[in-house]
Structures are given as structure tokens and as C-alpha cells.
């Protein structure tokens, strides 16, 4: 299938073409940047929503409920589950994927796990590119689910339009979130598993923390105070309220110019990432450069050259050659 055919099939809603395009992009196969460039003019106006939080907060179940909620209004929904290739959460995520099968059989839903360990340019950039493919394929909502631990996941949060932070009572995560300032990245805060003891207490702690923020009664510099929503994702309790708050946030985002500013910031970081990835790739594809590296490494390994001296020599060979 030629690329034009692939693009045409993708735009026509062919699921096999979509899966193939996502794989090409996720794995950075030949021609993936041309594919993305072609698709970039065809992207619809998908809302990209991040769902983040600590392990065990019920993010997958909540995501599943959000998918069901969007489907009720006829919207097409894609889910990208980002697995930071953690040896300890990897299995759990796989389990979640299996559980999400209740919505996976719906043809208006597409679910994809990302576990691009060591992919060119990192997880955030390739996740953003997969979202681009999904946007071109006509999905109205793209949910990006990440485990809220580690830098790569925070990077992922920067590629969505809005972020839902999911916390649970009793775990102590709420306090950590408040202390660490991660709450600053949240547009909507969900206290999930709210049928457990401590949900109201956690909500009050969060509200108090928001009250104290910036001395402006919890309203961010741009004029948004994150609502705190109580949900029980396993039963669907609180989901209607959350959906309403999501729509309210989107209206604010678009109306206040914040959406435009966020997307501009995202574009800038995307371009930087693309440039860095391309330049680094071209460095190591050059045989003369790898020769300098390999010969120098012999000296480094026998202790006659430092890694910094060799690094400087390689940089010089790159810069004098170009």
C-alpha cells in the first residue's frame, strides 16, 4: 500500500490503515515524518485530554467511564495508554487494557497502548505524534492515560489540551500531590473511590490548598480554579458531574485564549523535539563520526583519554565536517 493509499484509507476511517499508520509513527519507521506532515493539514479539532495520577487511583476505570460518556453523545473516542515501560506497572497496565474491553468492541472507540522504551526522541514526542494520527483519523476525543510517576509522564501531560488528576483517599497521595505542586498541572481534580472513608477530608485538603494558592482564592494566574470532583469510577457515580466540568473547562480554555497559548507552547516544544531527534540521528548515521568514536573508545577504555576529551573530539569532527 503506497503512502497516498494509506492516508486515503486512514481518512476514510479504515481501522487497519489507522493501526498501520500508528505503528509506523510509534516506531519511527521510514517515512513517518512525511506521513505526519501530510496528515497535519487534515487534523480535525480533537480535544486531547490527559488522565494522570498515581498507580491504583483507578485511572483506567475512570477513562473507561469517560469513553462511555462521550459515546453516549455519539462522539468517536481514542484512548492512548502510555506505559512508561515500568517493570512494576507494566503488567498492571496490561491488565487494565484487558478490563477496558467493555468499550474496546465498540467501533467508535480505538484503544492503543504505547510502550516505546528507548524510542527516538522519547515517549512524549511519539505519544504526541500518535495523537496527531488519531486526530487526522477523525476522533473527537483523545484520552491520554499516564501513570503520574517520573519525568516522562509529566512530559506527556504537556502534550494534551487539558489534564485530569485522579487521586484516591487514604493513600497519602493527595498530600504528596499538594506538597509537590503537581496540582498546578491539573485542570480538574478527581477524588476517585469516593465511597471510601477520607474522600471528603481529601477534598477539603485540596480545596484548602487551592485557597492558599497564589493568594487569589485558588484561581490560577489565567483565571481558572480547578474543580474537585468526587467519583466512584467502578459504579459511574459522579461521572455526569465530571463530564459537565470537562465541558465547562473546555469553554473556558477556548474563550480565555489559554487553549491557543497551550497549543503554541506545544508546537514550539514539538519542533524542538523534531529538530533534536533529526540532528542526533544524522550524527550517528555518519560513518566518519562513528569511526572517531570507536577509535577513541579504545583509548578511553585503556585509560589514556577521558570520555569528555573524546566527546569534544567527536563534536569537533561533526562540526568541521558539516
- Which one of 8-16, 28-36, 62-70, 232-240 is the stretch in contact with its own copies (CB under 8 A)? 28-36
Kindly give the residue spans of alpha helices, DSSP state H, lying in 168-212: 173-180, 199-212
Cross-strand partners of 110: 78
Q: What contacts 64, CB < 8 A, 6 or more positions away?
A: 99, 100, 102, 103, 233
CA 193/CA 163 separation, integer angstroms: 19
Residue 298 CB, shortest distance to its own copies, in Å, is: 9
Cross-strand partners of 81: 113, 145
DSSP three-state, residue 301: helix
Q: Select from 217, 222, 267, 295 the one that contacts its own copies (CB under 8 A).
A: 267
Q: How many other β-carbons are positioned within 10 Å of the β-carbon of residue 320?
A: 7
- Which one of 73-81, 136-144, 238-246, 277-285 is the stretch in contact with its own copies (CB under 8 A)? 277-285
- Which one of 193-201, 240-248, 251-259, 295-303 is the stretch in contact with its own copies (CB under 8 A)? 295-303
User: Using CB under 8 A as the criterion, what x/- string covers residues 120-159 for binding its own copies?
Assistant: ---x-----------------------xxxxxxxx-----
Kindly give the residue spans of alpha helices, DSSP state H, lying in 116-159: 122-136, 151-157
Q: Whose Cβ is closer to its own copies: residue 171's or residue 234's?
A: 171
Q: Whose Cβ is closer to its own copies: residue 69's or residue 84's?
A: 84
Q: Whose Cβ is closer to its own copies: residue 4's or residue 301's?
A: 301
Q: Which of 7, 4, 32 is nearest to 18 (CA)?
A: 7
- Which one of 19-27, 133-141, 243-251, 296-304 is the stretch in contact with its own copies (CB under 8 A)? 296-304
Residue 28 lies near its own copies (rule: CB under 8 A) = no
Residue 4 lies near its own copies (rule: CB under 8 A) = no
Residue 231 lies near its own copies (rule: CB under 8 A) = no
| Cβ atoms 138, 13 nearer than 8 A | yes
| Cβ atoms 148, 119 nearer than 8 A | no
DSSP three-state, residue 167: strand
Q: Select from 107, 180, 221, 285 the one that contacts its own copies (CB under 8 A).
A: 180
Number of residues counted as binding its own copies (CB under 8 A): 70
Residue 43 CB, shortest distance to its own copies, in Å, is: 9
Task: Tell me how far CA of residue 42 lies from CA of 9, 134, 141, 145, in angstroms.
Answer: 13, 11, 16, 24
| Cβ atoms 63, 57 nearer than 8 A | no
| Cβ atoms 258, 222 nearer than 8 A | yes
- Which one of 11-19, 60-68, 202-210, 273-281 is the stretch in contact with its own copies (CB under 8 A)? 273-281
Q: Select from 1, 201, 279, 288 the one that contacts its own copies (CB under 8 A).
A: 279
Positions touching its own copies (CB under 8 A) are: 33-34, 36-37, 40-41, 54, 84-92, 117-118, 123, 147-154, 173, 175-177, 179-182, 260, 263-264, 267-268, 270-272, 274-276, 278-280, 282-284, 293, 296-297, 300-301, 303, 306-312, 314-315, 318-319, 322
Amino acid at each position: 500500500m503506497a503512502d497516498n493509499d494509506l492516508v486515503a484509507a486512514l481518512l476514510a476511517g479504515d481501522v487497519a490503515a489507522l493501526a498501520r499508520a500508528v505503528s509506523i509513527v510509534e516506531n519511527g519507521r521510514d517515512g513517518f515524518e512525511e506521513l505526519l506532515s501530510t496528515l497535519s493539514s487534515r487534523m480535525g479539532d480533537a480535544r486531547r485530554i490527559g488522565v494522570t495520577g498515581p498507580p491504583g487511583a483507578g485511572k483506567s476505570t475512570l477513562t473507561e467511564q469517560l469513553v462511555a460518556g462521550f459515546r453516549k453523545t455519539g462522539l468517536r473516542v481514542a484512548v492512548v495508554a502510555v506505559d512508561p515501560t515500568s517493570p512494576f506497572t507494566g503488567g498492571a497496565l496490561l491488565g487494565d487494557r484487558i478490563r477496558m474491553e467493555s468499550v474496546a468492541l465498540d467501533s467508535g472507540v480505538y484503544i492503543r497502548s504505547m510502550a516505546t522504551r528507548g524510542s527516538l526522541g522519547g515517549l512524549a514526542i511519539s505519544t504526541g505524534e500518535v495523537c496527531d494520527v488519531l486526530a487526522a483519523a477523525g476522533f473527537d476525543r483523545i484520552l491520554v492515560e499516564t501513570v503520574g510517576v517520573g519525568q516522562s509522564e509529566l512530559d506527556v501531560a504537556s502534550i494534551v489540551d487539558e489534564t485530569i488528576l485522579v487521586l484516591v483517599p487514604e493513600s497519602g497521595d493527595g498530600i504528596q500531590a499538594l506538597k509537590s505542586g503537581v496540582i498546578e498541572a491539573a485542570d480538574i481534580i478527581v477524588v476517585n473511590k469516593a465511597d471510601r472513608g477520607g474522600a471528603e477530608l481529601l477534598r477539603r485538603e485540596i480545596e484548602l490548598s487551592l485557597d492558599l494558592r497564589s493568594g487569589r482564592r485558588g484561581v490560577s494566574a489565567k483565571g481558572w480554579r480547578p474543580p474537585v470532583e468526587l467519583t466512584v469510577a467502578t459504579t459511574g457515580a459522579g461521572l455526569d458531574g465530571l463530564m459537565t466540568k470537562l465541558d465547562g473547562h473546555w469553554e473556558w480554555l477556548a474563550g480565555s485564549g489559554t487553549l491557543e497559548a497551550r497549543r503554541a507552547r506545544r508546537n514550539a516544544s514539538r519542533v524542538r523535539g523534531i529538530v533534536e531527534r533529526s540532528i542526533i540521528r544524522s550524527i550517528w548515521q555518519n560513518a566518519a563520526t562513528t569511526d572517531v568514536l570507536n577509535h577513541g573508545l579504545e583509548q578511553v577504555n585503556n585509560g589514556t583519554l577521558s570520555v569528555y576529551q573524546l566527546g569534544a573530539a567527536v563534536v569537533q569532527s561533526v562540526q568541521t565536517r558539516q
